[in-house]
């Protein structure tokens, strides 16, 4: 049984929330069943100063609107054919968010295999933001929801099983100095950490 984490957990600066999410559970309850995974990789996006953030320069559109909302909100975003999951951080009005990039399955492994395809090796099920969303059955329908309420929520986990590491973020280009900011956090050596591109 998993219980949603305290709402206050999300009320902190994005550069603190991103590493704090490592080792916590991400849980999704659907009619097909429950799937849960331990988060091992996150990235911080620090709008409006961060050129790599969708909310750079306070860009406020239908898509980024929820980044300006209260912390703990779910920001889902469509990338090509994939859905990516973010956690809104900071305080209301500051467009900060944490991208969840990788997690280790702890429950509902078969359900994840069903959703992803049975031919994949286990780490390939959830070692990337798009893969993780698909394995958990998360879609744009979760946009604007709360990370501390069912059916999609963060639950207190066992913490890190290895050393905390930081490095440059993945998949951002043409963003000046932001390319080098060490705002990607992950558990060293864990096979569910995504591959650097």
Partner DNA sequence: GGTCCGATGTAA
Partner DNA sequence: TACATCGGACCA
Task: By CB under 7 A, name the binding residues for DNA.
Answer: 43, 45, 52-54, 59, 61-64, 75, 77-82, 84, 86, 97, 99, 116-117, 120, 124, 128-132, 134, 140, 170-174, 194, 197
Q: Which is nearer to DNA, 113 or 156 (CB)?
A: 113
CB of 126 to DNA, least distance (A): 9
Shortest CB 82 distance to DNA, Å:
5
> Which residue's CB is nearer to DNA, number 24 or number 64?
64
- Using the minimum distance from each CB to DNA, give the nearer residue, 2 or 192: 192
CB of 57 to DNA, least distance (A): 9
Question: Whole-number minimum distance, CB 75 to DNA, in Å?
Answer: 7
Contact partners, residue 6, CB within 8 Å, separation at least 6: 148
Least distance (Å) from DNA to the CB of residue 110? Answer: 17
Other Cβ atoms closer than 10 A to 70:
15
Report the residue number, 2 or 105, with the smaller CB distance to DNA.
105
The DSSP code sequence of the chain is ---PPPGGGG-S-HHHHHHHHTT-EEEEEETTEEEEEEEEEEEEEETTT-TTSTTGGG---TTTGGGGS-TTBEEEEEETTEEEEEEEESSTTS-EEEEEEEEEEEE-HHHHHHHH-TTS-GGGGTSSHHHHHHHHT--GGGTT-BTBSSSEEEE-----SS-EEEEPPSS--S-GGGGG---EEEETT-TTSPPP-
What Rg do the C-alpha atoms of the chain give, in angstroms?
Answer: 15
- State the minimum distance, in angstroms, from the CB of residue 43 to DNA: 6
Residue closer to DNA (CB basis): 2 or 15: 15
Q: Compare residues 2 and 154 and give the one whose CB is closer to DNA.
A: 154
């Amino acid at each position: 049984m998993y219980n949603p984490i305290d709402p206050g957990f999300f009320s902190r600066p994005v550069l603190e929330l991103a590493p704090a999410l490592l080792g916590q559970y991400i849980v999704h309850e659907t009619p097909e069943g429950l799937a849960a995974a331990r988060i091992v990789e996150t990235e911080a996006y620090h709008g409006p100063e961060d050129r790599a953030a969708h909310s750079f320069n306070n860009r406020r559109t239908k898509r980024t609107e929820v980044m300006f909302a209260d912390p703990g909100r779910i920001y889902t975003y469509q990338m090509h054919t994939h859905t990516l999951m973010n956690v809104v951080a900071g305080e209301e009005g500051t467009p900060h968010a944490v991208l969840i990039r990788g997690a280790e399955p702890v429950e509902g492994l078969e359900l994840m295999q069903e959703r992803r395809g049975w031919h994949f090796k286990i780490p390939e099920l959830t070692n990337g933001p798009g893969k993780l969303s698909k394995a958990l059955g998360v879609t744009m329908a979760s946009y604007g929801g709360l990370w501390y309420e069912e059916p999609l929520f963060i639950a207190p986990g066992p913490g890190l099983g290895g050393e905390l590491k930081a490095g440059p973020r993945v998949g951002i280009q043409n963003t000046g100095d932001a390319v080098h900011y060490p705002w990607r956090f992950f558990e060293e050596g864990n096979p569910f950490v995504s591959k650097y591109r």
